[in-house]
Structure 1
Amino acid sequence: MYQLLDPTRFVVFITGATSGFGAAAARRYVAAGGKVIATGRRGDRLEALQQELGADNCHIIELDVRDRAAMERAIAAIPAPFDGINVVLANAGLALGLQPAAEADLDDWQTMIDTNISGLVYTVRLLLPGLIERGGGHVVTLGSVAGEFAYPGGSVYGASKAFVRHFALNLRSDLQGKNVRVTDIEPGLTETEFSLVRFKGDEDKASKPYSGTKAMTAEDIAESIFWVTSLPEHVNVNKIQMMATTQAIGPFDIYREG
């Protein structure tokens, strides 16, 4: 049996750590003995997370990934020992609305593009040089099954996640010889705040996707993130696509007149 990487040596930079996958991943890495830099827009939640995990294990930065200049300043100011980052979890992202394209809110589309694409690109580009200088590491991006399988109302969200998938695969080529691994995690139905954000706080609408079924949890996804980063350095998992057992790919949507 080959030797897994020592999780006590992980120093993980996480975007979108105030809830969902990001918060669950922070807890998983700290539980294994690692350290995390937890970032997000909601300072109160970051403070609660730091109190839970301990300041020696969790450094927090209130930050919006869409603000490139703020990202640059924050990354440059990370103190030791948290500055020895070797895992980057580019997790921040969201979906807004589910209207047909001709009725969708352009501001919602722009927010998804700015967060899911630009914010991810800023995160990865600003942290990659450090990973390379320190001898290697791992970049984990958060895609979605929506990046491969289309559904009504998912036009820009799905397109943004398709970008994430191909960005991750292209990074693999660019990083040959640098000892930096890249994995895209592509979850399906997972019960987090995702739908509550998508439907802008409407709890009735947000609960419907999970009604009568058993969705995955944030902890399920965090465990997969932890696993791929714990594999020996010579092993790179390009992508993991995950669905709840109760979810599958549907039939073709065929429009019929009359």
Structure 2
Amino acid sequence: MLKEIIIAIQSYFEAHKFIRQHRLWKWILIPGIIYTILFIVGMYFFIVSSSEAVDWLSRQIGLQAWLQKQRSEFLSFLFMMAGVALQLLLLLFYFSLFKFLFLIIGSPVFAYLSEKTESILEGRDFPFSFKQLMKDIIRGISLALRNSLWQTVYTTTLIILSLVPVFGWLAPAIALFIECYYYGFSMLDYSFERKRLSSAESIDFISKHRGLAVGNGMVFYLMHGFILVGWVLAPAYAVVAATLSLYEVKLTPEASTRLEARS
């Protein structure tokens, strides 16, 4: 798994070279700018509402009044940290829903960009088919909804666990790992669709190569640390990097047999 995470991380550097060499900037910047605008608007509303949501929950369960009666600095510290963990989880949960919404909207562009990347790598063109494009879009939407549902289940469980002192502090890290996995999964699936893998086969392949998905999602989130520039580049870079990383893994005997059998 560690080796595949490293491959996924290195693929982002290769993606940058690949995009520059083949002048794919228009397919990078257009969805990136749209993503950035939606991200800024969405984060504004989250920041405004998240603190109020945590305070409301605390009042509803009577936590604030109970802590005031206890007058214990240690207990106050524990539950303050639990509140921080809860806010981080809410942030990840919100971002997860926002991300899947954007994946649904940007599915046509991402499917084309992944296809364009592979056609350059293999030196062959994939003939355009409107019917196939619609199938790719429907599959992308279906997968996004499926992943969103499972991630919601996991995150809701972690939100409940975040209220448990000490243990709950680990919940945001677990949620981030899950978030990275599912985002990378979505990026890799564009290649699986061209190989005509069914959704079940796609899920099975990723379950055996989790490192590719986790590594791809990890760098995607790290790129958000570069304000504006990282936000613009992150979505499309993730698509290209996912395609390149899968191309590297195809060189191993097991993966090559599994994918080429579907070509």
| TM-score normalised by structure 1 residue count | 0.31
Task: State the structure with more CA Rg.
Answer: 2
| TM-score normalised by structure 2 residue count | 0.31
Question: Using CA pairs below 8 Å that are at least 6 residues apart, which structure has the higher relative contact order?
Answer: 2
Answer 1 or 2: which has greater helix percent: 2
